[in-house]
Structure 1
Amino acid sequence: MGSIIIALPRPADVEKIREILIRHGFRNVYTAGSVSAVLQETERLSHGIVISGIRLLDADYTELLDCLPEYFELLLLDSRQKVSARRQSGLVAVMMPVRVNELISTVRMMIEHVNCRANQKKKSKPRRTEKEENYIRNAKYVLMERNHMTEEEAFRYIQKSSMDTGTNMAETAQMILALIYNEI
């Protein structure tokens, strides 16, 4: 399950929100008083949300949002009337004072979203090895030299051949290289 980091300038607010979250079943709840402390926490956690106010001890929420890792989102508690104007990727804003039910449902929604994104990353295809990348790079180079293709055309040729034969791109590149070098 995703983690929650509470980063507010007033310790009393942090503790109040922490208690509410724990009371409603959230287990991985951490606290931080500054952007730098939040970033230290995110380095050791895989994914989650940060609950923050407009201003922290060392920066404001925009700097925090810019620095957050890919699998973290920001829940901004905004006491101003400008909540609807704060539309950015990775940011959800609610107006203070927030009702407990609204806070809990928003946190649940955001945690579910970051959990899904993190799980999709785990299910994604593994990256190619350096050896496989070299096969593809060499096959592109040979196609560019022998068939006067651009790099994009060569890549698309390998990609299409891979789909047509039902093999991955590295295997297709190996076949192309084997065919070309057997001709010589």
Structure 2
Amino acid sequence: MSSIVIALPKIEDARKIRSVLECHGLAVASVCSTASNALSSASELGNGVLICGHRLPDMNYLDLAECMPRDFEMLLLASARVICEVPPSILSVEMPMKASDLINTVNMILMQQERKRRKEKKKPKLRSEKEQNYISNAKMMLMQRNHLSEDDAYRYIQKSSMDSGTNMVETAQMLLMLLYES
């Protein structure tokens, strides 16, 4: 779950923005008036959106962007003059802003982060050298004893794995045990 941190020089402004976001169903984890507090909150939360002004008492937005946790996205609230100088990697909303612009932009960022997390989860985890050896040895045994090509041996292990509901490493281990016993 992504989190929202708001960091503006005037704490009253940050609280007003929190109210707007919460009225639209977005939970704000932290409201602060300094970059150091924002960074502290962000690092505890792990991922999310940091909504900030272009200049905080202890840091400007560019320095803050460099210090942010990797899984946090910055949303800069600034005037048109400041926004024209903002690097493309930083999203921004022009002040004065419409509540709908803020809500839509925050929702867009949160949806992108959710998609990215799902995509990361779907990536197959890398096998250790030991696990890879089990699969390679099982393939070799199948190739020698059953005269299969390497691709066919791999597909056989893969299909057996799916049919039995076990992962490929466990299937390779079972095949090796069966082939050594015979």
TM-score class, shorter-chain normalisation, is 0.5 to 0.7
TM-score (norm 2): 0.67
Give the C-alpha shift of residue 17 in structure 1: 0.1
Q: Rg: which structure is higher?
A: 2
- 2:94 maps to 1:102: no
Aligned equivalent of 1:26:
26
- Asked if the contact 2:11–2:31 (Cα under 8 Å) also holds between the matched residues in 1, the reply is no
State the Cα deviation string for residues 56-86 of structure 1 (Å, max 9, x = none).
1211100111112222110000124242331
Give SS of 1:81's match. Answer: helix
Which moved further from structure 2: 21-30 or 3-12? 21-30
Give the C-alpha shift of residue 110 in structure 1: 1.0
State the Cα deviation string for residues 116-154 of structure 1 (Å, max 9, x = none).
122222332324447569x7xxxxxxxxxxxxxxxxxxx
* Structure 1: gaps (5+ residues): 136-160, 172-184
Give SS of 1:85's match. Answer: coil
CA distance in 2, matches of 1:74, 1:58: 17
CA distance in 2, matches of 1:93, 1:110: 11
- Asked if the contact 1:77–1:96 (Cα under 8 Å) also holds between the matched residues in 2, the reply is yes
Identity of aligned residues (%): 34
Q: 1:46 to 1:119 in 2, by over 3 A?
A: farther
State the Cα deviation string for residues 74-126 of structure 1 (Å, max 9, x = none).
0000124242331332x101111111111111111111111212222233232
Give SS of 2:56's match. Answer: coil
- 2:74 maps to 1:74: yes
Q: Report the residue type matching 1:64 in the other structure.
A: L
- Asked if the contact 1:52–1:75 (Cα under 8 Å) also holds between the matched residues in 2, the reply is yes
Q: 1:126 to 1:29 in 2, by over 3 A?
A: same
Aligned equivalent of 2:122:
123
CA distance in 2, matches of 1:42, 1:71: 9
Give SS of 2:84's match. Answer: helix
Give the C-alpha shift of residue 5 in structure 1: 0.4
* Structure 2: gaps (5+ residues): 134-149, 158-168, 170-182
- Asked if the contact 1:47–1:115 (Cα under 8 Å) also holds between the matched residues in 2, the reply is no
Q: Report the residue type matching 2:113 in the other structure.
A: V
TM-score (norm 1): 0.66
CA distance in 1, matches of 2:112, 2:41: 20
Q: 1:73 to 1:31 in 2, by over 3 A?
A: same
- 2:105 maps to 1:113: no
- 2:91 maps to 1:92: yes
- Asked if the contact 2:5–2:29 (Cα under 8 Å) also holds between the matched residues in 1, the reply is yes
Q: 1:81 to 1:50 in 2, by over 3 A?
A: same
Q: Report the residue type matching 2:44 in the other structure.
A: R
- 2:57 maps to 1:57: yes
